[in-house]
Amino acid sequence: MCKLSPFNHKARKRFGQNFLTDQGIINRIVCSVNAKVTDRLIEIGPGQGAITQYLVEACPQLQVIELDKDLIPILLAQFAKYPDFTLHQHDALTFDFSSLTTSDTNHSTQALRIVGNLPYNISTPLIFHLLTYRDRIADMHFMLQKEVVKRLTAMPGEKNYGRLSIMVQYYCEVEHLFEVPPECFVPPPKVDSAVVRLQPYHVLPYIANDVKHFSHLVNLTFQQRRKTLRNTLKQLIDIDTMAMLPIDMGLRPENLSVADYVNLSNLLIEVTL
């Protein structure tokens, strides 16, 4: 049963707004986050405050980032009794998340915990933006389009496996938590949603010697995902050099794991020096 919002603010298509109203799903998200009073907790796109009201009870110093100026007075009024609650009216895609980190008395930076019911139209670029701050982030809990979560969690050989899978899994441990049907939102989206947890690694399991080269390699191969590595890598190295590599050139991009791509990138750098 969905619980309707008491506010009259209409969801705006240009902001990709679909307000979560199902109390059971809200509770599951809040329990998954398990916020503590000492957390450096950030919510992206609080909307009408459905999740916010529970996050701020657990963590009164909650900070939120909201782009829609018409939601600002609603949120400020709703959470006025929390003096440490902070609202930033800003586009999360260009927000400087390093500005939200603080240092304790030992001068160590407290990592951010980030939560958001993300607009589907910006979810992928926003995740890539946040990954540039990965050293400052403890974890991220996001509501996303179900298909995006499938891509984030896909393994080699699966149809959803691609550039997004590899680049996010290079930096983070990814966990699909649960699914959310359209009727839990107002207005209901035309697709199913899912909640995912991303935890940046403290120590990367595989280290690319040149991350830009690694990213370029992954992007290049998946631009032509039906072609074999032999056909794709001809743009980077000659046939003789290719023969020196300890990898099956008859494989397709979706057959290689994150570790395989890291090793291939490092090898390509070596043989082309």
CATH number of the domain residue 62 falls in:
3.40.50.150
Strands (E), the chain: 19-20, 40-44, 63-66, 86-89, 112-117, 137-145, 172-180, 185-186, 193-200
On the question of a cis peptide bond just before residue 6, with omega within 30 degrees of 0, the verdict is no
Kindly state whether residues 60 and 145 are assigned to the same domain.
yes
178 in any annotated domain: yes
**What is the pairing mode between strands 137-145 and 112-117?**
parallel
Q: What is the pLDDT of residue 244?
A: 85
191 and 223 assigned to the same domain = no
Q: Any residues with CB less than 8 A from the CB of 30 and at least 6 apart, and which?
A: 51, 54, 55, 58
| pLDDT score at 114 | 98
Over residues 227-256, the pLDDT tens digits come to: 999 999 988 888 888 888 888 999 999 999
Task: Please give the average per-residue pLDDT across 91-101, as a whole number.
Answer: 95
| Number of independent structural domains in the chain | 2
13: confidence class by pLDDT, cuts 50, 70, 90: very low
Looking at per-residue pLDDT, the higher value among 93 and 273 belongs to 93
Domain final residue pick, 179, 200, 221: 200
Q: What values do phi and psi take at 50, rounded to 5?
A: -60, -45
In a domain, residue 258? The reply is: yes
Average pLDDT, the chain: 90
What is the pLDDT averaged over residues 34-41?
Answer: 97
Residue 103 — very low, low, confident or very high, per pLDDT cuts 50/70/90? Answer: low
More reliable by pLDDT, 80 or 7? 80
Does residue 244 sit within a domain?
yes
pLDDT at 235: 86
Instruction: Give me the percent of the chain exceeding a pLDDT of 70.
Output: 90
Residues 63 and 110 in one domain: yes
Judge whether residue 120 has pLDDT over 70. Answer: yes
What predicted TM-score, i.e. pTM, was given to this entire model? 0.90
Rounded distance between C-alpha atoms, residue 217 and residue 130, angstroms: 21
Range of the domain at 122: 13-200
Residues 42 and 160 grouped into a single domain: yes
Same domain, residue pair 50 and 69: yes
